[in-house]
Amino acid sequence: MGLERKGSELAAGRQCVTRMGDEGMRTVTKKVCPQGKLSSALSAYFRSYAKGAGAEDVHVPVFRALKRIQNLEQVLYPGCHRHITPSLFFPRVHYVDCDEKVGDIYRDAKALDFINDNKEYTQQTVVSFSRGDFFSSSPVVEEEYFDLVISLSAGNVSEPCGRYLKEGGYLLVNEAHGDAYRAYLDQRFELAAVYDEDSQQFDTSSDVVKECFHTRGGEELTKAMFDEIMLKPKSRRPNKLRFQRDAMFYLFRMKGEGKAIKPDHVQPSELQVPSRIQKKRRTGVRGCECNSVS
């Protein structure tokens, strides 16, 4: 039997319980109440990423699986929109978006309390946001600083943002907008793991990794293939451009020194602590103020 408890801030806007069991923690919405009960920023998050009663952000099992195989603390999320889910799994996340309007959620007290009430780690949470264009030649944050860069449906993230990764750091990328193909062709990266939706785990086996980005005819992805792929939706691609294995999420590693993936990594048990918003302070991210929650 799982342990059930009411989420303090969520309960203000929705009747809900948080269930903890073998599957981990997930918030289940039992009844939707008037939107005025939630902050506008947090309501916008739920509308975008957890649609419908009992819904869970589809990225939750992906981040949980990633946390299970590697201890990543400093995370950069370019093109983040209002997607605060990474902060449930990683203690220090810096969010970047060109739309200043989405920055409200990263300063929102109820959103920060939601993170604190549902996070799956014991460390202090640090959430920071900056408006910026990550294609700019001027760095938007400190270079070679982060353990993980997240690329989720934000276009070409891997090419301009690889410079922000430490050697041995990781790039999590989905298949949208061709960024996984770009990362595979980028000599700075090597494919480390592939997310399996059935098991909700990252597969690091060499046989599985080798099948990705190789056509059914055995050809490895080339720049010419990539250019042709980007002109056609997947359903209209010829057989010569269909791969032996496709996945929704891929994990690339920045070549160089760094920790290898640890399949037996055990996540520390969760500790629930009272929610508290601390005063703003500066972090190792240059020129950015952030909010700390402990």
| Per-residue pLDDT tens digits of the chain, which is 294 residues long | 332 233 333 333 333 333 333 333 343 333 233 244 789 999 999 999 986 545 689 999 999 999 988 889 899 999 999 999 999 999 999 999 999 889 999 999 999 999 999 999 999 999 999 988 777 766 777 888 999 999 999 889 999 999 999 999 999 999 888 899 999 999 999 999 999 999 999 999 988 888 999 999 899 999 999 999 888 887 788 888 888 899 999 999 999 754 444 333 322 222 222 233 233 333 333 344 456 655
Rounded to 5°, angle at Cα 259 from 257 and 263: 145
Of 173, 180, 179, which is closest to residue 148 (Cα–Cα)?
A: 173
Of 126, 130, 113, 129, which is closest to residue 292 (Cα–Cα)?
A: 126
- Give pLDDT, residue 1: 30
Q: How far apart are CA 130 and CA 57, in angstroms?
A: 23
Which pTM value belongs to this model? Answer: 0.76
6 lies in some domain: no
- List all residues 6 or more positions away from 203 whose beta carbon is below 8 Å from its beta carbon: 193, 194, 195, 196, 209
15 lies in some domain: no
Length of the chain in terms of residues written: 294
- 205: domain CATH number is 3.40.50.150
- Give pLDDT, residue 294: 56
Q: How far apart are CA 39 and CA 110, in angstroms?
A: 7
Query: Is the Cβ–Cβ distance between 110 and 9 less than 8 Å?
Result: yes
284 lies in some domain: yes
- Give pLDDT, residue 124: 95
Count structural domains, the chain.
1
- Give pLDDT, residue 239: 80
- Give pLDDT, residue 55: 63
174 lies in some domain: yes
69 lies in some domain: yes
Domain, as residue range, for 268: 58-212+247-293
Would you list the DSSP string of 113-139? HHHHHH-SSSSPEEEEEEE--TTSSS-
Of 98, 85, 94, 96, which is closest to residue 128 (Cα–Cα)?
A: 94
Q: How far apart are CA 117 and CA 142, in angstroms?
A: 29
Q: How far apart are CA 119 and CA 132, in angstroms?
A: 27
218 lies in some domain: no
Residue 84 tokens read as 């605060």
Q: How far apart are CA 10 and CA 18, in angstroms?
A: 10
Query: Are β-strands 24-32 and 14-21 bridged in parallel, bridged antiparallel, or unpaired?
Result: antiparallel
- Residue 256's identity, in one-letter code, is G
Q: How far apart are CA 233 and CA 127, in angstroms?
A: 36
- Give pLDDT, residue 268: 27
Q: How far apart are CA 127 and CA 90, in angstroms?
A: 10
Of 172, 177, 166, which is closest to residue 191 (Cα–Cα)?
A: 172
